[in-house]
Amino acid sequence: MATEQNGATQSSDDWVRLISADGYKYFVKRKIVLVSPTLRSMLDASSNFAEAASNTCRVNERGAVLEKLLEYLSFKFLYENASLNEDIPDFQERIAPEIALELLTAADYYDS
């Protein structure tokens, strides 16, 4: 998981910056971000919105929620094409009850 608070890695095209509502910045691999359809359209170069142009998405969530969201995206990325007999851990265990509701709305928003 590549969550960093400071821009240690200089942004190549493969990295996307996500900023939470309370100011946390996350550098995430683009392929992981693209798992969410909403984020995918946001970053779609052909429609060329401001987010795509700057490679930066402002996410209107708390850092804690955003982090869990990103964790889920990478989880989904990892296991989406897993073979049947592979052991897939349960993601539910990792969700803290206090952010569950917020995460739920975020999941709806980001369509993931």
Is residue 91 involved in binding other proteins (CB under 8 A)? no
Cα–Cα distance list, 53 to 2, 45, 110 (Å): 22, 7, 20
Is residue 70 involved in binding other proteins (CB under 8 A)? no
Is residue 17 involved in binding other proteins (CB under 8 A)? no
Is residue 66 involved in binding other proteins (CB under 8 A)? no
Is residue 7 involved in binding other proteins (CB under 8 A)? no
Roughly what angle, to the nearest 10 degrees, separates helices 63-79 and 97-110? 70
For 1-20, the DSSP string reads ----SS--S---TTEEEEE-
Site string for other proteins, 27-56 (x = CB under 8 A): ----------xx--xx-x-xxxxxxxx---
Cβ(83)–Cβ(42) under 8 Å? Answer: no
Which residues are at the interface with other proteins (CB under 8 A)?
24, 37-38, 41-42, 44, 46-53, 57-60, 63-64, 67, 96-102, 104-105, 109, 111
